[in-house]
Amino acid sequence: MKIKVIVTPKKGVLDPQGKAIQQTLNSMNFIDVNEVRQGKYFEIETDIKNEKDAKKNVEEICKKLLANLVIEDYEII
Total residues at the site for another protein (CB under 8 A)? 10
DSSP summary character for residue 50: S
Q: Does 3 bind another protein (CB under 8 A)?
A: no
Asked whether position 24 contacts another protein by CB under 8 A, the answer is: no
Q: Kindly report the number of other CB atoms within 10 A of residue 12's CB atom.
A: 7
Identify the residue among 28, 31, 65, 77 touching another protein (CB under 8 A). Answer: 65
φ/ψ region of 29 (left if φ > 0, alpha if ψ in -120 to 50, else beta) reads: left
Of the pair 38, 46, the CB lying nearest another protein is at: 38
Per-residue b or e along 21-55, where b marks 16 or more CB atoms closer than 10 Å to that residue's CB:
bbeeeeeeeeeeeeebeebeebebeeeeeeeeebb
Q: Does 33 bind another protein (CB under 8 A)?
A: no
Q: Which is nearer to another protein, 32 or 70 (CB)?
A: 70
Give the footprint of another protein on this chain (CB under 8 A). Answer: 13-14, 16-17, 20, 65-66, 68, 70-71
